[in-house]
Structure 1
Amino acid sequence: MNRTKIALIATALSCLLLLIIALYLQLVEKMLPCPLCVMQRYAFAAIGLSCLIALALPRAIRRIGFALGFASALFGIGSAGYHLWVLANPAVSCGIDPLETGLNKLFLSEILPTLFKADGLCDTPYPPILGLSIPAWAMIWFLTFALVLGVLLFAKKKARELFGKGH
């Protein structure tokens, strides 16, 4: 197995693990997800699925999966960044608003409400995990995934060999 496939599998499994951690925090620690949290969950799910799509595609068109994952990571960076901004500005909230209503009507929130239904407030000050807020950790992961997928997507073939021959 080449390094590109290992990177894609590791990214997909990391996204799955992050979604499991989110469910643990929600169900066991009673940290209700806000609309921005749910948007970040969608981004993690999309990155993971994009990596699996890239694995399934022939090498000639695998970059489509890289591009989908990279775009999802950028979306995650934007939503985590806005969430960090909301936490830094307590007067701002994304509580019960059109974003929450719209997110809660998407088909995935109806099929998997435990994972994709927004019930919390974005400005709730949950205790930090290892010194960082949950959206800060999400930002670190989104930046990491964007870096990996960006290298796979934008690097010339010679540079992609960093991840393995034949991308």
Structure 2
Amino acid sequence: MTVSRRLWFSTGFMACCGLLAVGAYMQFVEELEPCPLCISQRLAILATGIIFLMAALHNKAHNIYAIAAAFSALLGAGISARHVWLQHLPPEQVPECSPGLEYVFQHFPLTDTIKLMLTGTGECSQIDGIFLGLTIPGWTFIAFVMLAAFSLASLRVYHASDTDQEKDI
């Protein structure tokens, strides 16, 4: 017996909500200021969650939603991988810190702001904590890979159940 597609994609949406809640907790309770790459990762989680929600609500074109959610999650994984890479650079290779993101949004062209948010700056190399040997971006990378795998697993699970239903006819 397989779970309904609505429940499957709702579960993915709830996972994204949980990840965003953890990020909000770290920012507002633990007072960890997010760097540009952290914000980009949150946006990728948000985009992935919205795709999961649309799939659950629309209940059509599941394969398209599954591929879109996996693509969004893999983009986020790429951003997380870049963040992990920056954290492991030798100090002399770390890029310079930028002005605050609010200042950048107000005074820099949009293309420069997007480039900054996707490539990171010196503050992105700061490690604010390690849990079980991984930094926050390391755990976020794992979460993105799991979200992508979860999304793509729906293609296999429901393709197999659709094939079984065809055999019954």
When the two structures are superposed, what TM-score results if normalisation uses the length of structure 2? 0.74
Aligned to 1:2: 3
Aligned to 2:55: 54
Aligned to 1:136: 138
Residues 31-65 of structure 1: CA distance to partner in whole angstroms, max 9, x if unpaired? 11111111110111011110011112243x22222
- Asked if structure 1 preserves the Cα contact closer than 8 Å seen for 2:10 and 2:52, the reply is yes
Q: Give the Cα separation in 2 of the matches to 1:105 and 1:16.
A: 31
**Segment drifting more, 130-139 vs 42-51:** 130-139
Aligned to 1:96: 98
Determine helix, strand or coil for the equivalent of 1:44. helix
Distance 1:125 1:58, change over 3 A: closer
Aligned length: 150
Q: Percent identity?
A: 30
Distance 1:88 1:8, change over 3 A: same
Match for 1:131: what amino acid?
Answer: G
- Asked if structure 1 preserves the Cα contact closer than 8 Å seen for 2:8 and 2:154, the reply is no
Q: Give the Cα separation in 2 of the matches to 1:96 and 1:146.
A: 31
Aligned to 2:64: 64
Distance 1:70 1:56, change over 3 A: same
Distance 1:72 1:102, change over 3 A: farther
Aligned to 1:115: none
Residues 65-102 of structure 1: CA distance to partner in whole angstroms, max 9, x if unpaired? 212211111111100000000001043237317x9836
The Cα of 1:18 is off from its aligned counterpart by: 0.9
The Cα of 1:152 is off from its aligned counterpart by: 2.5
Aligned to 2:113: none
Determine helix, strand or coil for the equivalent of 2:34. coil
Determine helix, strand or coil for the equivalent of 1:2. coil
Q: Give the Cα separation in 2 of the matches to 1:18 and 1:82.
A: 19
Aligned to 1:109: none
Aligned to 1:30: 31
The Cα of 1:134 is off from its aligned counterpart by: 0.3
**Segment drifting more, 135-144 vs 62-71:** 62-71
Residues 3-56 of structure 1: CA distance to partner in whole angstroms, max 9, x if unpaired? 433321111111111111111111111211111111110111011110011112
Asked which structure has the greater CA Rg, the reply is 2
